[in-house]
Amino acid sequence: MNSPYLVPVAQLLRDVPSRTEIAFDAEFDEPHEFAPRGVAETDVFPEATVRVRLRLESFSGGLRAKGTVEAPWHGTCRRCSTPVLGLSTVAVNERFVDHRGPGDEEAYVIADDFVDLGPLAHDAIFLDLPLAPLCREDCAGLCPYCGIDRNEATCECQAPLDPRWATLDGLRFTDFEPGESKEV
């Protein structure tokens, strides 16, 4: 039970209001056994280092955890399929409560005078991951006809003249812009 994610809070809960600063770097999945995730466009390696910087502040019946959680992610460029690395820095403002009452559905629960910051860190990071990252804002993508990487080379491909395709010419495909994660 030496996980840095497990923080003893008995004293905080006794002295209301009181606060403490939590700062540690730890493996993303240490030592939790989260359910296996499906293959995703963007993910965090289990052994990646997550930075947790939180202030815990007690109130009657619980704690507020406020600060940031940061983790590196990896993904695949949605246009050219090259690997993309990024960093998610997520502002966190969550509650831990002794017992869930009405309105506490979103709150985490304090167990045996400990809070477990692992699920909080996981939730924060996964909600922030970009769904469809780009290797760079102006990535030119792959040629749909010959597959060449247009960032590195040009080709002579043109849209086929087959009249069955003509109606498609009027269509525009707009890229979906993902969230605010930094892509580095």
**Which residues lie near Zn ion (CB under 5 A)?**
77, 79-80, 135, 139, 143, 145-146, 148, 155, 157
- Four-CA torsion 116, 122, 127, 133, nearest 10 degrees: 160
- In whole angstroms, the minimum distance from the beta carbon of 79 to Zn ion comes to 5
- In whole angstroms, the minimum distance from the beta carbon of 71 to Zn ion comes to 22
- In whole angstroms, the minimum distance from the beta carbon of 30 to Zn ion comes to 32
Rounded to a whole number of angstroms, the distance between the first and last alpha carbons of the chain is: 35
Nearest CB to Zn ion, comparing residues 34 and 145: 145
Nearest CB to Zn ion, comparing residues 45 and 145: 145
- In whole angstroms, the minimum distance from the beta carbon of 182 to Zn ion comes to 16
Nearest CB to Zn ion, comparing residues 79 and 122: 79
Nearest CB to Zn ion, comparing residues 124 and 139: 139
Query: Is 132:139 a contact under the CB 8 Å cutoff?
Result: no
- Structure tokens that stand for 32 in this block: 């939790």
Would you tell me how many other CB atoms lie within 10 Å of the CB of residue 125?
Answer: 22
Which of 100, 90, 108, 117 lies closest to 30, judged by CA? 117
